[in-house]
Amino acid sequence: MKIGILTGGGDCPGLNPAIRGAYLRAADFKDEVIGILNGWKGLLEKETISLSLKDIDEITSHGGTILGTTRVNPAKHKENGLKICYENFKALNLDAIIAMGGEDTLGIANKLFSEFNLPIVGVPKTMDNDLSCTDYTFGFDTSVTVAIDALDRLRDTGRSHRRIMVLEVMGRHAGWVALFTAIGAGADWVLIPEIEPDLDKMCKHLIKAKERKGYALVVVSEGIKIKVDKEERLDEFGHMILQKRGVGKIIADEIEKKTGIETRLSVIGHIQRGGPPTLFDRILGLRVGVAAVEFVHQGKFGTMAALVGNKIIPVPLIEASGKLKLVDEYWYNLANILFK
Ligand code: F6P
């Protein structure tokens, strides 16, 4: 078989292990593997490279993606973009595509499968961990590990200067990164997109925490629902570029005003999306990459290789990309138990 692999949307640690897993499993079947460069843009423009063992030998510890990525949406980027993708798939003599991405990339994969019957298998990736039908996505564990390290460092300054330290983390629609960072690093409060911020309640609690410990730590997700007076720029999938909203600054200023305690903000931004993947992301990436090739050979098209329990199983792309997995009550309540 001739299989094309592409990576779309934001890069994240675990993509390279997934590419490696797919390549190595494909080698068992004597498949030819090509890399489609820069997400769906590569299929629109027939930009590909042929992959060899040499290309994937050393990438297990590398963040990012050797195939490059963009947020190009074929349905918006060019007239008849989806049809062009289908025609180029044929012109490249491909038998199947493995698309690695989040809700946007897999949404396009689902359209190409359902509207053009294109043989496609999805691999879930996103540091946001907000894809449905899979317990975790690779990228998430590394991002939270980096954010926890940042908060541990901020604690030192908070304790030394007797300040409130605010850390703004990524997470477009879902607060998983913020919530797990807050739980993992022992923060005093967390603000996530799913829950409307109650600033008075938060400030009361921060004053109490500061009285006891001498400092307090707050984690803010970039996607929280507060009013921001800034022009909003959208990407091709219609998503706002959230970092430019600067919600961390608004929250830190508000905390300082309401509590009278010196407060500082740090925004870790893309630092949390780069660097070597953690063990969890390496293993998960490798497993879903291997499974995707197996699903191709089993003809399980229109599916995504999902982690459910400790197994990798095929789930329908339409379900995985149709609805986001948001923070639920259990997880939010767990964090609240810890805020004393
Ligand atoms: O989708 C992953 C993510 O890191 C989000 O958490 C964030 O809002 C967005 O990507 C940032 O995208 P970009 O790198 O295109 O600015």
Q: State residue 254's pLDDT score.
A: 97
Mean pLDDT of 145-158: 98
Q: What does the chain come to in residues?
A: 340
Quote the distance between the C-alpha of residue 45 and its chain's center: 25
For the question of residue 128 being annotated catalytic, the response is: yes
Confidence of residue 229 (pLDDT cuts 50, 70, 90): confident
Whether 3 is in the pocket of ligand 1, judged by its Cβ within 6 Å, is no
Residue 340, token pair as written in the block: 């004393």
Mean pLDDT of the chain: 96
Order of strands across the sheet that contains 96-101: 48-50, 32-36, 2-7, 96-101, 120-124, 303-308, 311-316
In terms of Cα–Cα distance, which of 108, 143, 139 is closest to 304?
Answer: 108
For ligand 1, say whether the CB of 139 is within 6 Å of any of its atoms.
no
pLDDT above 90 covers a percentage of the chain that reads 92
The answer to whether the CB of 241 is under 6 A from ligand 1 is yes
User: Which residue lies with its CA nearest to atom 1 of ligand 1?
Assistant: 10
As a whole number, mean pLDDT of residues 252-275 equals 98
Torsion-angle region of residue 14: left (phi > 0), alpha (psi -120 to 50) or beta? left
Structure tokens at 127: 């540091």
Does residue 233 register a pLDDT over 80? no
pLDDT at res. 54 = 97
pLDDT at 238: 84
The residue assigned the tokens 């109490």 is 208
Task: Write out the two tokens for 267.
Answer: 């925004």
Q: Of ligand 1's atoms, which has the minimum distance to the CA of residue 171? A: 6
Q: Residue 70: its pLDDT value, please?
A: 97
pLDDT digits (tens, 9 = 90+) for 44-90: 999 999 999 999 999 999 999 999 999 999 999 888 999 999 999 99
| Edge-to-edge order in the sheet of strand 164-169 | 189-191, 216-221, 164-169, 263-267
**Is 134's pLDDT higher than 90?**
yes
Does the pLDDT at position 112 exceed 80? yes
pLDDT at 281: 98
pLDDT surpasses 90 at 320: yes
Q: For residue 308, list its beta bridge partners.
A: 311
Q: Which tokens is 150 given?
A: 């940042």
- Is the CB of residue 166 less than 8 Å from the CB of residue 178? no
Tell me: pLDDT of 132 over 90. Answer: yes
- pLDDT above 80: residue 230: no
Mean of the pLDDT values across residues 173-195?
Answer: 97
